[in-house]
Amino acid sequence: MKTKTVLLLLLTCSPLVSTAANVVEERLQTYKTAGAKNFSAAAGQSLWNRQFEQPDGSKARACSSCHTTDLRQAGKQINTGKLIEAMSPAINPQRLTDAEKIEKWFGRNCKWTMGRECTAQEKGDFLKFIQSQ
Amino acid sequence: MNIQTTLALIMTTTLGTAGLAVADKDSYALDQWKATPKTYLNKAEHEQYLKECGSCHFAYQPGLLPAASWERIMANLSDHFGDNAELPATETTDIRNYLLNNAAGRVNSSLPKKILRDSKAQQPVMRITETPYFIRKHDEIKPKMVKDNPEVRSFSRCDACHTRAADASYNEHEVKIPGYGRWED
């Protein structure tokens, strides 16, 4: 491939490719200021798949209940049946490109699944995991 | 439309919207109700509404519920039918305004008028699927086609059966129930 083409490709791709990465980087910095450190995709994955017992005795809940354990596949909103597009930014370039959207869904989903807000550490681990898929 | 019907409709509006804003706009409301409905049902077009209220399910058209019902829904988003649908305050306000301005009783469309007329004396319900009009229209559909149908599961999934639900069209000839095909009656 000629240098010019490579340059052109880099130029065309870089804004798109870097968006999810930039947004995640900015989020991780914010979480660090809140006291979190050493984010781990493995920790994020294990929390993602963990089943949380519900105090009212209803069925245990996990992030994977709706998003499945394979982030490259589409999931399904278990309460309504609506399709949820794949979470992996490699498959779905829209993912992790909007900090407000990410925080909004962390707010709703952590409370619904785990019965409480996620900590800054947990959010960072989740983002690392989602990004790695 | 005769005067009696018109009056009944106005009373319903006032009731259904918890007395909001209609009183000081009597003549306007009267003119609206006298007029023949201009549309069947308006499409949901507000961008933020479509995004926020269409992420977990089909984005229901605002005309499908009276304003008082939308008020209750928007005031309880963190405990929303067993799910958490909370929004930042500014977005809640924008979406609430959109829903209230386009609710049944606030628009001159035929389906919202029927829904409102049938719910008159009732407490505002939180579900479209609990309005008397909805229940009456769907009472011939058997549970095996809905609750026990893995592709439908709930009447709340309008777009599972109404092929043009997103275009605000609920004509019975456009219904196709997954696994059962076109609806004939």
Q: ipTM of the assembly? A: 0.79
Query: Residue A81: which of B55, B86, B153 has the nearest Cβ?
Result: B153
The pLDDT value recorded for residue B42 is 95
CB contact at 8 A, A44 and A125? yes
Closest chain B C-alpha to A108 CA, distance in angstroms:
5
H-helix segments, chain B = 3-16, 26-34, 47-53, 67-74, 89-101, 110-118, 132-137, 158-161
- CB-side neighbour CA atoms (13 Å) of A86: 12
- Could you tell me what percent of chain B has a pLDDT over 90? 71
The whole-angstrom separation of Cα B153 and Cα A43 is 35
CB contact at 8 A, A55 and A117? no
CB contact at 8 A, B103 and B60? no
Least confident interval from A81-85, B2-6, B52-56:
B2-6
Contact A77 B56 (CB under 8 A): yes
Longest Cα separation, chain A: 63
Three-state DSSP class for residue A76: strand
- Model confidence at B7, pLDDT cuts 50, 70, 90, reads very low
The whole-angstrom separation of Cα B89 and Cα B130 is 28
Span A116-132, pLDDT tens digits:
999 999 999 999 999 99
Span B11-35, pLDDT tens digits:
444 444 444 444 455 566 666 555 6
Span A18-54, pLDDT tens digits:
589 999 999 999 999 999 999 999 999 999 999 999 9
The pLDDT value recorded for residue B6 is 45
Residue B37: pLDDT over 90: no
pTM metric for this prediction: 0.86
Residue B90: pLDDT over 70: yes
**Residues of chain B positioned with their CB less than 8 A from the CB of A116:** none
Span B66-77, pLDDT tens digits:
999 999 999 999
Q: Closest Cα to residue A67, out of A80, A53, A83, A55?
A: A83
Amino acid present at A82: K
Query: Residue B56: which of A82, A104, A111 has the nearest Cβ?
Result: A82
Span A68-80, pLDDT tens digits:
999 999 999 999 9
Please report the beta strands in chain A, taking only residues with DSSP state E, as ranges in sequence order. Answer: 75-76, 83-84
* Domain locations along chain B: 44-127, 138-185
DSSP line for B64-111 = GSBHHHHHHHHTTGGGBTTB-----HHHHHHHHHHHHHTSBTTS-BHH
How far from B115 is each of B22, B50, B112, B119, CA to CA, in Å? 18, 22, 5, 6
Three-state DSSP class for residue B1: coil
Residue A97: pLDDT over 90: yes
Instruction: Set out the domains of chain A in order of their start, with CATH numbers.
Output: 41-133 (1.10.760.10)
The mean pLDDT of chain B is: 85
In the numeric block, the tokens 């989740």 are attached to: A126
